[in-house]
Structure 1
Amino acid sequence: MNRNLFITLLIIFNIAIDQISKIIVRSTMVKGGKGQMNVLKDYFQLIWVENKGAFLGMGSDMNPTLRLIFLLILPTIVLGYVIYYIVKTKELDRLSLIAFCCIVGGGISNVFDRIVFGQVTDFFFIDLGGVFRTGIFNVADLSVTTGMILLLFSGIFNNKKSKDVSKEV
């Protein structure tokens, strides 16, 4: 498959899966804690909230101008640069390319929500007890997080591989 087509399709897939999930949540759930659904007892729940901030609501109390700069303009510039980087950098390994596409797709989808709705729809909540309890998040957040983890693995794998190659020489 053509590399740029692969990049485009993967980014569009991440945007689509997030936006479809948000449409389903907005059309079938009740906003706030009243409409929460237990998927797996109290461990995994669906709770529809609208987030005016960023990750875990950070920045939701910023004045509108700062929120526009830090949650819309700056992320759009960064996403544009990452797209440019992955299209132009032909040396990226497949795992890094997939990771960047997940990050960009999730980022674009949340920026789209901020432009169209003024806030981001979140609905997943995990509480495994003890210290493992998430905030409420969405599929785009999951895409970005997955992309970051894949980048970490790619960096570790590529670093180990390059050390092995240098030992052979």
Structure 2
Amino acid sequence: MNRNLFIILLIVFNIAIDQISKVWVRANFEYGETKSLIGEKFIMQYVENKGAFLGMGSDMNDTLKLILLLILPTLVLGYVIYYIIKNKQLDRMSLIAFCCIVGGGIANVFDRIVFGQVTDFFFINLGGVFKTGIFNVADLSVTTGMIMLLISGFVHRNKGKVLHETE
């Protein structure tokens, strides 16, 4: 498959899955309603987030929100798209990771533009230290992409060390 087509399809897939899940939640939940998926461990609760990650920045003034939650993310996402299209040396895992990050980022920016806030609905509580805030599929895409980038970085760093040691 053409590389640029692959990039576009993966980004669009991430946006579509996120937007479909948010439309479904808004149609099937009352605001604040909670439904258990798996006991008290995996829960869905419909909330609207006016800020960024975990509601951070929701109390900022409107100008600051515009700059930090719309303009800056849009510029960064634009640069990342440019970077992944131009950089033909990216390994497949990094390319997929960047596409997940961009797709999730665009999906949340879209929500902020259209609705003025982001729909969140997943909550995980495995007890002890592992308890999340309420998040959405776009957040999951961005987080998955970041984890994939870290793994890819470690793999390629270690490959570089092995190559230098064998020379």
TM-score range, shorter chain: over 0.9
Deviations 1:5-35 (A, max 9, x none): 0000000000000000000000001111xx2
Which stretch shifts more, 10-19 or 127-136? Answer: 127-136
Q: Is 1:13 aligned with 2:4?
A: no
2:73 matched residue in structure 1: 75
Which stretch shifts more, 125-134 or 115-124? Answer: 125-134
Gaps of 5+ in 1: none
Q: Is 1:144 aligned with 2:125?
A: no
How many positions carry a matched residue from both structures? 167
Deviations 1:43-92 (A, max 9, x none): 10000000000000000000000000000000000000000000000000
Match for residue 127 of structure 2 among 110, 114, 129: 129
Identity of aligned pairs, percent? 72
Distance in 1 separating the partners of 2:15 and 2:160? 34
Which amino acid in 2 is paired with 1:81?
Y
TM-score, with structure 1 as normaliser: 0.98
Match for residue 92 of structure 1 among 90, 93, 100: 90
Aligned-CA RMSD value? 0.5
Match for residue 34 of structure 2 among 21, 33, 36: 36
Distance in 2 separating the partners of 1:144 and 1:58? 16
Q: What's the secondary structure of 1:98's corresponding residue?
A: helix
1:53 matched residue in structure 2: 51
Shift of 1:132: 1.0
Distance in 2 separating the partners of 1:149 and 1:44? 21
Runs of 4+ displaced beyond 4 Å? none
Gaps of 5+ in 2: none
Which amino acid in 1 is paired with 2:53?
F
